[in-house]
Structure 1
């Protein structure tokens, strides 16, 4: 196993190095849905050129269902015309410096016309002492033409291998090849059995499951042991028969692999790690306490859950552990309803991903839409529209530049996590499952259903809130750890100071022996509050339990092992650092670059604006703003033998703190800035948009332009606000001047006395002003604001709803109900202020 993974890591390095000569992984990429694969080479080129101009680094082709009226243009998946379109995409991508990935199939999960019913997913039920096994009857969801068919059995010995033979005579023969193959999240609903499951169970677990199948539904300790064994067998078959054959086939044919392991019944750490690029997902909207951040009130937390950093850390932990450079995320899925997502909503979700270890953003997403279609074009049913018809398309490059600046640093630095937290999946498997098929599906959506119910999950939230830097580790991964003479714990890709075992009940004997091996080699181990009480596995349990208790007593007697009543004290004794920025409301990830500290810090709360932060002794840091690309050396002081730096970071802002050889030149001051309120009469002129331009207006008090007229209530586009104000000597001679726009709906471009100041697209909507632009007399401030397209769609859906013409799910709203924008109230639009100058 170890040599296998090392070989894969080496192959991934070769593949990533080869592609890095022509494409950028620092730039964000996008999912690109081919509806019906009704694509033309001319339009492919046009759209790829637009992606490059917008600052994207690559696309991920996903063929899905088609558009009504375009049936004659459908290209069946893997047909010669489809392969020609794919090859043209790759060739044009090389010309433009854009990478191309693709799903090893259409829609999701894997399946299609080449999956015979004998290889289709199966479900087992046990009622009235009778075992019944039958096909799940699930077919590929959102399949493209030529991709329809049964979902394959993820536990079958031959199903994946047989499935991939379809690609050997088609895709593999193409001269132009994508960078990566992709497998979407596990959605084989109800699949919980395979043709030889009983035999495999007996070989692996040492007893016959069939006579005691009824125990899977019981609640006794003996039944919990059987339930653990059942889930462990599913997990092993999934990894060995589904994941490994796909990754091995992909690499044999020169492809990198991207893999969403979540949603499966396996150990996510092992599954994610099997791929070259583990991929998580950010689905829905987090509830950040950033003032002014809009959250779609129609989004159903009960229905879909919210993104959670602990779920994201499974993918990044797998990458850190095995030394993988890239960790990706499906980003922006159902962030808000169609036509309602702003760039200011996207940024904090991405910042949360960055702080969780993600460094290769894939937007979710962009739909291939012929330019001749016009607005709103072809749309995917469940995503944020990052395409050329998006209302923020004109400013999309600003977000992309920010992401690129961040990922340049995040991809070219190393993890610096102190703690390796053991993931006790056997305790989860012991609990009654709530998912379909009577098994545990480890999804990223409702982590409250599984992750947060475990002591492991509660411990993770505690570690996050206190400011510990940590990764997760699986039973299998423990086998590959080694320990240096001074007790540093080494994986293939990272260094750790201690292993932390959460409060847990069950532990495999093999895992206990691995912990014993590591502790004897000098690794520091901490059990949180108590040691595990029971060995997992039903077979011969009483005998093995005696051995387990003996080995556990031997383990806790070792000098490097502690059972902690006070976890913070135990971690501190093992050299683990608490980053106090977390307690002050900041979210972060700590890394190293060239052996020096590197922090990415995001203010996703409303408790921090500026303060002193304790850092490592003698460390000098500079602040880099990836939004403005400005760097400043942070003020430093000594306090009680501690080194502190002064960081100013407003809610919604983010930055890097980088090692600096320089010290701050200017004396430190923390005086509050002076303020000039920009009051007066604003002239408002509508410049461009749909359906028509409202009449010009004046405003003595800033308010949404939807209050002006019926035309303005339906307007989507850009309007200019103009104000004259008087400057003064103090303002014109200040070292630092900021234009604070207050509430902006949604993007604002500012000019002062005819000179560009900048574009504000994220919270806080502030722009730095060159003091030389300010006159001591009259000044003219112009602010062009672009709103969302939601207000126009309220009218469009009344007058011309013909754009909703898609097969399969067609188009739905954020609750998966029928999409109807006509019932929406007008969304606030324009410059709402208050506007002021700070200096």
Structure 2
């Protein structure tokens, strides 16, 4: 019979395991900050505020007091430093508490009180689901767009009735002509368009404001409704009062650390009630006669779309970001925002929010994660958090600790120095294991079998977060965001700077910079004047339009000693419609003064090497770096993001010798400039200067020897123990195919004093084998390695916990725990919950959807197959180097 651990057994096993684990890590995961007097002190004992957080999903919401407290204690035990409270769609038919009901608010208060009692940070989402909205948002406060209605006007006809308007709709302008090109503006009256008769048939073009119709996505019970208009002061204030003020009544004694806004995903929006008036005030001309050009392609259309999009971006910044940030400050909290998407915003809009958050794992394309970190670097904000692991190794429960590290490293390569795990699904005690899951996310809670190594995973993230918050970021290269071209490319219902930027900041351009040994940030028009703009080289991607005022800043940058590279072509056009000819002449003149020739995209890396000294050499396309300038030295993070080992002949601009720090196991060694070998998805920190001044004893390599431990093992599943015939996946045994949990490999190892003296103390589980990485883009990320340990192991020697093995290289030094004579070795291996789930039918949500509607679709949860589990090859005891 298949064996699956149920909650009581699993909870007991986790609790007993964590007694040993947390005893070892108690100085790291304390309830209050640790004073770090030096970089090394902080590395050894990183402060509590650097710990990762979780997004804590409450489904329904339906929660119980006891389970809230239990899960908070589990979060702390696993090394998390806090949680963000988020309410989503229901997962049960009955018992759901309406969003912001008295019962829901009482549960929020309990969570805040219990979390703070445990020393955890507490954030809360400023609404349910996303984007913000709900029943308090009427049609006239909802996100809006313009649409074009064409009404036929027969020959000799003199009038036509306008469409019957629905809630939230109004006529903005009417035009009459044989086509959009020759149509002229006419004013309707009494619901009709009246014109002089004509011999030919014509068309009445009606530009209509209408709600986009978008509803809040993944809404909890009681929070259903329209998405708000982010450019409407009335809509934003209505939401802050109806939701924000009510939400904060659950925090009477201690306000949340921050309130959170997810990415702007108000798709289709391109209008707000007073856009015509605001447009004229800001752009200097009347938009109304030009409205048809939004839907057509004319010589003026691109400039009008740019002006239109820029006005939307300004209104979003002034009417949404600024007042929400002000509201948060007035209420004793902070505003954390993912400031990108629809409606449009600029990179510099993020200066208006307290805390900038991002997402996106791919570090070698245009990235909204780097968009957020760049803004923080430019405007002097030291912490960039990430909504991390959003689509990690879909579906739920597929993700492993190695997957976590693989994506974490790519996020850090983009400037991340704080993690918010996506996420932690609340799960009631009565739910069958492995409990509830969010439809499109990895599971980071204690229902996951490999939860046993969560403290070590979080310790790595905590160490790296703290290290990468030290000093100042170093980015010798900046890429200019071509926001005018991006907005000029707008289409009805699709207006976004970051949504278009990837067409200009291409994967090829990004690769040229990274492969040449440079790190980079983005910069936009306004940030060219920011104090944090310290780049030596500015790159203009293949672009056409630019505001002459911004171009003048770039010319001043060059006069001050900076270098500028134009990719493939020069800007040759102004941005707006009003001063088109004069602005175009000014742009062309600046281009003529700045450039003798453009640089082909595939030659940008070579050009950079002639313009600035490289920060790092010896990298491969799979390896990247981050450089932080410290008050007394330099710190570099180097990561292998590939699934094969690499040997890197690294050189750093900061020095030739220093120290190399391993944030996984906490070891520190001398680095003398020798090539560095990194296993798949392995990383290191290199430290130079006074921060690396502590004297270390150089490691002397002993004569290599090894002993394969391929026999004498037993394998235990709960109370069932049998001799191990051979290493390999335990799913090869039909009786164990659907086992999800922990199995224990045990044997005795005899060692002599000579063995110990020779350093025969390192237990190596093997390298694993790379998997084929499919072509094409995918949601999220994963590690493409069939690891030798599936998927995490705790190692015990003579009854004492040595540590955990969860990432490459899959090895651990047992030296402090070994003795001459017999040594009892236990390896407790945990897999994922997928195997248990594969042995049962997929969840049936038919009744749930019949009652509440289709609010979510589980991702990649059909046709699950058992995954390899256990130790896939015999461990080797070898000489520690």
Same fold (TM over 0.5): yes
CA distance in 1, matches of 2:738, 2:368: 40
Q: Is the 8 A contact 1:317 1:471 kept in 2?
A: yes
CA distance in 1, matches of 2:739, 2:844: 17
Counterparts of 1:333-348 in structure 2 under 5 Å?
Answer: 333-335=390-392, 336-348=394-406
Identify the match of residue 317 of structure 1 among 374, 397, 412: 374
Q: 1:723 to 1:736 in 2, by over 3 A?
A: closer
- Is 1:112 equivalent to 2:190 in the alignment? no
Which residue does 2:783 correspond to in 1? none
- Is 1:281 equivalent to 2:312 in the alignment? no
Identify the match of residue 472 of structure 1 among 517, 522, 527: 522
Q: Is the 8 A contact 1:282 1:349 kept in 2?
A: no
CA distance in 2, matches of 1:182, 1:311: 17
Which residue does 1:787 correspond to in 2? 831
Counterparts of 1:694-733 in structure 2 under 5 Å?
Answer: 696=722, 698-700=724-726, 702-709=727-734, 711-723=735-747, 731-733=755-757
CA apart distance, 1:517 = 3.5
CA distance in 2, matches of 1:767, 1:146: 51
Q: Is the 8 A contact 1:109 1:187 kept in 2?
A: yes
Gapped regions of structure 1 (runs ≥ 5): 1-18, 287-305, 444-449, 482-490, 637-644
CA apart distance, 1:524 = 3.9
Identify the match of residue 226 of structure 2 among 150, 168, 191: 150
Of 115-124 and 356-365, more deviation after overlay is shown by 115-124
- Is 1:496 equivalent to 2:555 in the alignment? no
Identify the match of residue 873 of structure 2 among 823, 833, 837: 833
Which residue does 1:124 correspond to in 2? 146
Which residue does 1:296 correspond to in 2? none
**Bigger Rg, structure 1 or 2:** 2
Counterparts of 1:57-456 in structure 2 under 5 Å?
Answer: 57-71=81-95, 74=97, 76-128=98-150, 129-167=205-243, 169-172=245-248, 174-218=252-296, 222-282=300-360, 310-335=367-392, 336-373=394-431, 375-431=433-489, 433=491, 437-440=493-496, 442=498, 450-455=500-505
Q: Is the 8 A contact 1:87 1:175 kept in 2?
A: no
- Is 1:655 equivalent to 2:684 in the alignment? yes
CA apart distance, 1:57 = 0.6
Counterparts of 1:631-710 in structure 2 under 5 Å?
Answer: 631-636=668-673, 645-659=674-688, 660-661=692-693, 665-666=697-698, 673-680=704-711, 682-687=713-718, 696=722, 698-700=724-726, 702-709=727-734
- Is 1:534 equivalent to 2:573 in the alignment? yes
- Is 1:593 equivalent to 2:643 in the alignment? no
Q: Deviations over 1:295-322 (max 9, x none)?
A: xxxxxxxxxxx99573321111011111
Q: Is the 8 A contact 2:124 2:259 kept in 1?
A: yes
Aligned to 2:220, the other structure's residue is in SS state: coil
CA distance in 2, matches of 1:653, 1:309: 24
Aligned to 2:724, the other structure's residue is in SS state: strand
Aligned to 1:25, the other structure's residue is in SS state: helix
Which residue does 2:653 correspond to in 1? 616
Which residue does 1:4 correspond to in 2? none
CA distance in 1, matches of 2:305, 2:745: 65
CA apart distance, 1:179 = 0.8
CA apart distance, 1:764 = 2.8
CA distance in 2, matches of 1:124, 1:462: 40
Q: Deviations over 1:316-354 (max 9, x none)?
A: 101111111211111122212122221111111111111
CA apart distance, 1:246 = 1.4
CA distance in 2, matches of 1:105, 1:53: 28
Q: Deviations over 1:648-703 (max 9, x none)?
A: 3222211211122257654887x995443333364322127xxxx6x735323x22
CA distance in 2, matches of 1:512, 1:802: 56
Q: 1:313 to 1:649 in 2, by over 3 A?
A: same
CA apart distance, 1:242 = 1.9
Which residue does 2:510 correspond to in 1? 460
CA distance in 2, matches of 1:25, 1:496: 30
CA apart distance, 1:39 = 2.9
CA distance in 1, matches of 2:279, 2:369: 31
CA distance in 2, matches of 1:351, 1:313: 13
Q: 1:810 to 1:685 in 2, by over 3 A?
A: farther
Which residue does 2:178 correspond to in 1? none
Q: 1:522 to 1:379 in 2, by over 3 A?
A: same
CA distance in 2, matches of 1:36, 1:698: 46
Aligned to 1:337, the other structure's residue is in SS state: coil
Which residue does 2:758 correspond to in 1? 734
CA distance in 2, matches of 1:594, 1:748: 39
Q: Deviations over 1:17-66 (max 9, x none)?
A: xx979993300000011222333444322221221111111110112223
CA apart distance, 1:781 = 4.1
Q: 1:220 to 1:740 in 2, by over 3 A?
A: farther
CA apart distance, 1:79 = 3.7
Q: TM-score, structure 1 length as denominator?
A: 0.82
Q: Deviations over 1:122-150 (max 9, x none)?
A: 12122543312211222212222332222
- Tell me the matched-pair count: 752
CA apart distance, 1:219 = 5.1
Q: Is the 8 A contact 2:142 2:229 kept in 1?
A: yes
Of 154-163 and 328-337, more deviation after overlay is shown by 154-163
Aligned to 2:616, the other structure's residue is in SS state: coil
Q: 1:418 to 1:831 in 2, by over 3 A?
A: same
Counterparts of 1:465-614 in structure 2 under 5 Å?
Answer: 465-478=515-528, 480-481=529-530, 491=531, 493=532, 495-528=534-567, 530-555=569-594, 567-568=604-605, 571-572=608-609, 574-583=611-620, 585-606=622-643, 608-614=645-651
Gapped regions of structure 2 (runs ≥ 5): 1-31, 36-46, 151-204, 767-787
RMSD over aligned Cα atoms:
3.2
Of 512-521 and 21-30, more deviation after overlay is shown by 21-30
CA apart distance, 1:234 = 2.0
Q: 1:254 to 1:617 in 2, by over 3 A?
A: closer
Q: 1:228 to 1:612 in 2, by over 3 A?
A: same
Q: Is the 8 A contact 2:516 2:606 kept in 1?
A: no
CA apart distance, 1:507 = 0.8
CA apart distance, 1:269 = 1.4
Q: Is the 8 A contact 2:345 2:497 kept in 1?
A: no
Identify the match of residue 51 of structure 1 among 75, 81, 84: 75
Q: 1:404 to 1:96 in 2, by over 3 A?
A: same
Q: 1:126 to 1:576 in 2, by over 3 A?
A: farther
CA distance in 2, matches of 1:159, 1:572: 51
Q: Is the 8 A contact 2:309 2:495 kept in 1?
A: yes
Aligned to 1:838, the other structure's residue is in SS state: strand
Aligned to 1:33, the other structure's residue is in SS state: strand
Q: 1:65 to 1:307 in 2, by over 3 A?
A: farther
CA distance in 2, matches of 1:429, 1:584: 32
Q: Is the 8 A contact 1:339 1:789 kept in 2?
A: yes
Q: Deviations over 1:533-586 (max 9, x none)?
A: 1111122412332233234445559xxxx9657645654455442411433742
CA distance in 2, matches of 1:372, 1:757: 34
Q: 1:829 to 1:100 in 2, by over 3 A?
A: same
Of 624-633 and 246-255, more deviation after overlay is shown by 246-255
Q: Is the 8 A contact 1:620 1:661 kept in 2?
A: no
Q: Deviations over 1:205-252 (max 9, x none)?
A: 333333333433555653322222222222222222222221122122
CA distance in 2, matches of 1:260, 1:115: 22
Q: Is the 8 A contact 2:348 2:526 kept in 1?
A: yes
Q: 1:282 to 1:569 in 2, by over 3 A?
A: closer
Q: Is the 8 A contact 2:60 2:92 kept in 1?
A: no
CA distance in 2, matches of 1:21, 1:78: 36
CA distance in 1, matches of 2:366, 2:280: 38
CA apart distance, 1:187 = 1.5
